């Protein structure tokens, strides 16, 4: 759990990436972001499989897409990049933490978004970058 009495979300929690990790490994802030050319101050995760799939599919790398089941080891908050900007009320159940996440399992079987959906998402992100609107508040 997140160590707080007022639990934001009970989980389970997922982290989509292309990094190859092991059960017990810790995901920590201050590593290169999957989406920007800078170190991230937070580690991001979600309680929805759909959002985790996007995380894995859109991560910068040519490695295999992976979804890990993670356990937050400290407090976490709603991810303001989606809750404040795109989805008020946090229907994507997206969170971030300055504390590590521990990998407890890997989700081995999951259905990717269609190639068309992925192409559309990449085109939308490219357009936002060109307009200077693709900003991650970290």
Query: What confidence tens digit (pLDDT) does each residue in 80-107 have?
Result: 877 666 667 788 899 999 999 999 999 9
> In the predicted model, is pLDDT for residue 1 greater than 50?
no
Report the CATH number that the domain containing residue 96 is assigned in CATH.
3.20.170.40
Cβ distance 74 to 29 under 8 Å? no
Average pLDDT over residues 46-73: 93
Cβ distance 43 to 103 under 8 Å? no
> In the predicted model, is pLDDT for residue 14 greater than 80?
yes
Q: Tell me the backbone φ, ψ of residue 17, rounded to 5 degrees.
A: -160, 180
Handedness of CA 51, 57, 58, 62 (dihedral sign): positive
In a domain, residue 42? The reply is: yes
- Count how many domains the chain has: 1
In a domain, residue 1? The reply is: no
In a domain, residue 2? The reply is: no
């Amino acid at each position: 759990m997140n160590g707080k009495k007022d639990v934001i979300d009970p989980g389970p929690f997922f982290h989509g990436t292309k990094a190859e990790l092991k059960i017990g490994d810790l995901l920590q802030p201050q590593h290169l972001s999957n989406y920007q050319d800078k170190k991230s101050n937070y580690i991001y995760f979600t309680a929805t499989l759909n959002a985790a799939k996007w995380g894995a599919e859109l991560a910068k790398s040519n490695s295999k897409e992976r979804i890990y089941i993670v356990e937050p080891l400290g407090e976490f908050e709603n991810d303001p990049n989606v809750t404040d900007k795109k989805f008020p009320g946090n229907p994507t159940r997206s969170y971030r933490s300055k504390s590590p996440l521990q990998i407890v399992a890997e989700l081995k079987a999951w259905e990717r978004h269609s190639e068309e959906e992925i192409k559309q998402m990449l085109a939308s992100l490219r357009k936002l970058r060109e307009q200077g609107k693709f900003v991650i508040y970290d």
